[in-house]
Each structure stands twice: as C-alpha cells, then as structure tokens.
Amino acid sequence: MKPYVILNAAMTLDGKIVTAKNSSNISGEDDLKRVHELRKSVDAIMVGIGTVLADDPRLTVHKVDANPEDNPVRVVVDSKCRTPIAARITNKDAKTVIAVANEFKYDFLVSDRYNVFKQRGVEFFFSGDKKVDLTALMDYLANEGIKTLMLEGGATLNFAMIEAGLIDEIRICIAPKVVGGVNAKTLFDGEGFDTMDEGVNLELTDSFTLGKDLILTYKVLNDI
C-alpha cells in the first residue's frame, strides 16, 4: 500500500532547482498559486531534512484562498532527526510526521527534544537502519489514511523516491532561466543510475504555459 505520489518542482532550463548559493526563487507568481492549489488538493506533503534546514518552510496552503483544514499533513524525512525545535513545520497549523531511522531512535526518545516535539503534537515514524525506509514510510502513511501525497523534495530525496519506484507522477515548472553551476542542485541527484537503460521512463500527459513558465506533467512508468 502507498499513496499516489506527485513530485512537484520548479527548475531552470538547465535543470537546476537551486543555485550553489541556495537561491531557489525560480518560478513566477502564477506557478506559486498552482503549487498551493495542488497542496490544497492532496492529503499530505513531504520534504527532506535538507529543505527544512535550508528554507524553514511552513508547508501550508497560503497563496490561495484556504481554510486551516485545507492544510495537508506535513511529512519530513529526517533520518538523523536533525529537525530544529523552532522549525515552522513543528507548529500546530497542521499535523506533522517526522520519519527517523532506527539507529537514532533510542537517543532521540530519551532526549528533551522528543518531549518538546510531542507537546506540540508532532508524531514520529521509525524505520530502516541508518536511513528511513521510504517504502515502509509510504505503507505507514497509507494506513494513516493518506491517499495522495505531494513530494516537494530536494535532489537527494527525489532520486531515492524514484529509484524505489514510489513516484507516480511528475509535475515540473520550467522557468526560462539558465544558472549553471557544478554545485547547483538538479532535480535528481543521489547516486544516479549507471546506464541510460536503467533510467526511469516517463510519459508526457499534459503541457501548457503559465505566464513565462512552461508546465509539464509526466506519468512515471514504474512497470517499464
């Protein structure tokens, strides 16, 4: 069991989702509204710890008209449990689940940080050895009633998810910009596949312009 997972991201024409100096204001205002409409329509939104540390996101619906109950469940993949106590995703605007690897479970459960998180209503899911078992996490979320999940991951989490066959759909905003940079993150990093034949195949299902940006939707062909 797993939710239907939609990877949503904005990138430059050369595939960068952030510059080497961590600048990520890529898409236009129209696309930001599209993103928040998508957030409003799904049951959960998931990011990695890198995104939390770099951007301190709220992961709520606030660019379009919405009620508090429209906020999706917030999921953070944080193997070493480095989420700061003051992070905005720990507030009570929406339910938050932090996924942690088993290696770091015991030390965290006896820490003061755990008690503070629990007082704020943050829930935890433990799986995997040194890294969170993403397949187990998806199964857990499905059992919690999560039917649709929006992935706003960074490059490493994006690759881990697609490598595990856990992404069903990709929605990409391509901005008419080129930034370059060997250290600038692309949409998928991680270890990558060794050959083109090992790569994940996609099927284009929709495309349209939105302001100056180009929006592409792909179905992930996990069975190919």
Q: What is the pLDDT of residues 129-177, one digit of tens each?
A: 999 999 999 999 999 999 999 999 899 999 999 999 999 999 999 999 9
Write the pLDDT tens digit of every residue in 62-97.
999 999 999 999 999 999 999 999 999 999 999 999
pLDDT of amino acid 224 = 46
Tell me which residue has tokens 């899911």.
125
Q: Give the count of alpha carbons within 13 A of 36, CB side only.
A: 16
3-state secondary structure of 96: strand
Range 186-191 average pLDDT: 93
